[in-house]
A = this chain, B = another copy of it.
Amino acid sequence: MEFTNLEKAEILARALPYIREYNNKIVVIKYGGSAMISEQMKETMMSDIVMLSLIGIKVVLVHGGGPEITAVLEKMGKKSRFANGLRVTDRETAEVVQMVLAGKINKDLVRLICASGGSAVGLCGLDAGMIKVSKKTDAGDLGFVGDIESVDVKVITDVLDKGYIPVISTVGAGEDGVYNINADAAAARLSSELHAHKLVLMTDVRGLLQDKDDENSLITVVRVSDVPALKNKGIIAGGMIPKIDCCVEAVRRGVKRTHIIDGRIPHAILMEMLSDEGIGTMFY
């Protein structure tokens, strides 16, 4: 793409109201899924994160990593089993989850942020005892899969205070070991505990679609009180249910706006945050 200087300046100037709005505010971004697979996409995304950070937004990056976990387990000759979309996690699997999330994906994102001129610190729910977990009991015995019991965000705000971008892996300490936690749910909970201005879930769909087979049928804005009706009508269905439940939960706990946007689109997060249209679906 080629632009004239004036075009560039004009676009930058138009971003002013958004930069002003988010100045010094905390924004939690959940990043994961297919948007995280290609190295090129990760680099673009981390560069965008640095951009948001430099223009005064306090970005907290929460990431998942299912596919990489599966890949490492496979290499170790261990087959991944899922029940209701959740990974069945024995102790050995839990160790692999911790290792891949907190050691591989997390520190790789940290490295990419630093390579783009930002400065990040990689944390997980174990650091400073950030996330306490209890065994998940509402979905059958999944082993070391946990629900968040309590969260202490002090280490995150300390890291923000010192000027770093916190990157967070969603494992946490339970009574009898380390537990895997759903990253969307963790991002929602952290965003409310941090009194975040916004929660953005970067996924691999366009957002909530009126007709799930038609990408042009995007619903751009949903009031959380309309969610039950949309479930009844089957518009919110399948994998969207837990994601949208996270959004609703975050709004209920005081986060002003949550968004589901398509992480496969280059610069999706910049479009969402710094332009007048936004993309994806917003819940408020």
Q: Give me the interface of A with B, judged by CB distance under 8 Å.
A: 1, 3, 5-17, 19-20, 23, 44, 47-48, 50-51, 54-56, 72, 75-77, 95, 98-104, 106-107, 110-111, 114-117, 119-124, 126-129, 155, 158, 161-162, 164, 171, 173, 178, 265-268, 270-271, 274-275, 277, 279
Please give, as numbers and ranges, the residues of chain B lying within 8 Å of A50 by CB-CB distance: 16, 20
**Which of B11, B51, B127, B274 lies in contact with A7, CB distance below 8 A?**
B11
Does B102 lie within 8 Å of A98, measured CB to CB?
A: no
Does B9 lie within 8 Å of A267, measured CB to CB?
A: yes
Whether A274 touches B173, Cβ cut-off 8 Å, given contacts A16-B51, A103-B98, is no
Please give, as numbers and ranges, the residues of chain B lying within 8 Å of A99 by CB-CB distance: 72, 99-100, 103-104
Does A8 lie within 8 Å of B104, measured CB to CB?
A: no
The answer for the CA separation of A267 and B3 in the assembled complex, in Å, is 15
**9 contacts across the A-B interface (CB closer than 8 A):** A6-B271, A8-B274, A9-B266, A16-B54, A20-B117, A54-B55, A111-B173, A128-B164, A161-B162
**Which of B104, B117, B155, B267 lies in contact with A10, CB distance below 8 A?**
B267
Does A47 lie within 8 Å of B267, measured CB to CB?
A: no
Residue of B nearest to A172 (CB): B111
Residue of B nearest to A177 (CB): B111
Residue of B nearest to A103 (CB): B103
Which 10 pairs across A and B sit closest by C-beta, in order of nearness? A103-B103, A9-B267, A99-B103, A9-B270, A114-B129, A102-B103, A158-B162, A55-B55, A99-B104, A5-B271
Residue of B nearest to A68 (CB): B99
Please give, as numbers and ranges, the residues of chain B lying within 8 Å of A270 by CB-CB distance: 8-9, 12-13
